[in-house]
Structure 1
Amino acid sequence: MDFGYEGKVAVITGSSKGIGRKTAEQMVKLGAKVMLVARGEAGLKEAKEEISRFGEVDYVVADVKEDAAASQIVEQTVEKFGRLDVLINNAGGSFAKPFEEVSVSDWEQDLDLKLMAAVRISNAALPHLKKQGGAILNLTAVLGKTPPASSLPTSVSRAAGMAMTKAMSKDLGKYGIRVNTVCIGLIRSEQIEEKWKSEAPDLTWEEYSRLDKHDVPLGRIGDTEEAANVITFLCSDLASYVSGDAVNIDGGSGHAL
């Protein structure tokens, strides 16, 4: 099956580990050239060394919250690989507290990382994507659709990312640019592994993953590769008529379509 990645170039933020790194690996295996982006060079070097066994990959050390980072990332990518076809806005983290415990500074930092960083780099990438069309994918979260208690500010930032995705898809479709989001649920990550080791060190990962308390209809926490599979598909030519969509990757745990 041809995903259409041969000769294409992708930028993936937050890609030194987790979902971003696994997505980069999958795309490179399918023929894409990928620019990894993260703040820490050590993790990027390790990721590049691992992924370069399968094809062309490089990295940019950048903090996507900084104004100059967006143009730096795009310029270095085009200088290195000659074009840009796919942008995956994956940088982010989980910051969730009750409303009364969230400071104004917390709000500003969370929105800057999860929303405005994607705005900046999407703007920087747009002139290149307009040349031949392409795909932008924003990672958000299921809780942005139905925010639970004590989920601020991250649920609001993610909801804003979904709204931005839909509006962008309407504006950019005329250039052949597709814009989608994946709404992440419980997916294995360093943060979840830390909870496992602190809450249930006597359990194996498989046992911890399947605890009833996670309340996942499919009965387990998802793997990073399962999230990367969906992202890789949505950014590929196989999804050429999918735009403005929000796809849950949550094992059925979300309460909204």
Structure 2
Amino acid sequence: MELGVKGKVAVITGGSKGIGLATALLLAAEGAEVAIVAREIESLRVAAEQIKEQTGKEALVISADVSKPEDADRAVALTAAHFGRVNILVNNAGTSAARPFEQVGAEAWTADLDLKLLGAAQFSRAVLPHMRESGGGAIVNVTAIGGKTPGASSLPTSVSRAAGLALTKAMSKDLAADRIRVNAVCIGLIRSAQIERMWQAKAPELSWDEFASDKRHGIPLGRIGDAKEAANVIGFLVSDAASFVTGTSVNIDGGLSAVL
């Protein structure tokens, strides 16, 4: 099935690695133009080379700190100036910061919320004029299943992710009249640099396939997911194939979460 994103322009934060890069690769392969945003310029350049090799597309590389409003405005302005429009935004930037409540100080709360919540909000505000000018658009906020079912020692990440889900629903209501759809995906255990570090720390004697399929992860589908599998869902949500889908969240977790 063609996604209907050919010729559209996508901004992807956290686009140099993991789910962000996989999403950029998918959209570029489907004919979209992509701007990838992250802090590390070298990682961005490597990612752009990979996109060029696999899809033939020249990705726009933008070094920016998503937690800074001025960087969000600059990144979107550069994208619009380079490609002439912005139709898609994937708010994927984020890190995992999980500690017990008493160990989370004011600075940690601020840093996490600035990155995951306010960063997504600022990028979304910045793209609005361009999406309205184009007659609509699609935004996907990448969150985590912990935002729906916070566990012990999951702070501040689980709270920031829960706020991201509320942001998604509220934005979907406010922006629907402009034909701007806003959805979220909730990520479970997906292969990433962080998960690979956990693998090396906990079970270096196992191969990746053995570690990924370890029953102790408790994943009903029996394995850790791949970034491409997350990208497939994100690609659907930003595409014309999902033209009547807004204000919802999709778990990408192999059935791990206890809630819908």
Q: TM-score, normalised by structure 1?
A: 0.99
Q: What is the percentage of aligned positions where both structures have the same residue? A: 56
Q: Is the 8 A contact 1:185 1:251 kept in 2?
A: yes
Match of 1:124 in 2: 126
Unmatched tracts of structure 2, length 5 or more? none
Match of 1:62 in 2: 64
Q: CA deviation at 1:67?
A: 2.2
Match of 2:109 in 1: 107
Paired with 2:27 and 2:88, the residues of 1 have a C-alpha distance of 10
Match of 1:30 in 2: 30
AA matched with 1:59: V
Match of 1:237 in 2: 240
Paired with 1:159 and 1:148, the residues of 2 have a C-alpha distance of 12
Q: CA deviation at 1:57?
A: 1.3
Q: CA deviation at 1:70?
A: 1.2
Match of 2:188 in 1: 185
Unmatched tracts of structure 1, length 5 or more? none
Q: Is the 8 A contact 2:141 2:164 kept in 1?
A: yes
Paired with 1:32 and 1:62, the residues of 2 have a C-alpha distance of 22
Match of 1:84 in 2: 86
Q: For each residue in 1:36-69, what CA deviation from the matched residue of structure 2 results, as whole angstroms up to 9, or x when unmatched?
A: 0000000000011110231231110001111210
Q: Is the 8 A contact 1:32 1:56 kept in 2?
A: no
Match of 1:133 among 120, 133, 136: 136
Paired with 2:62 and 2:30, the residues of 1 have a C-alpha distance of 21
AA matched with 2:22: K
The SS at the match of 1:84 is coil
Q: CA deviation at 1:20?
A: 0.1
Q: For each residue in 1:112-149, what CA deviation from the matched residue of structure 2 results, as whole angstroms up to 9, or x when unmatched?
A: 00000011111111101112201011000001101111
Paired with 1:52 and 1:210, the residues of 2 have a C-alpha distance of 32
Match of 1:153 among 146, 151, 156: 156
Paired with 1:156 and 1:198, the residues of 2 have a C-alpha distance of 26
The SS at the match of 1:123 is helix
AA matched with 1:107: W
The SS at the match of 1:4 is coil
Q: CA deviation at 1:90?
A: 0.4
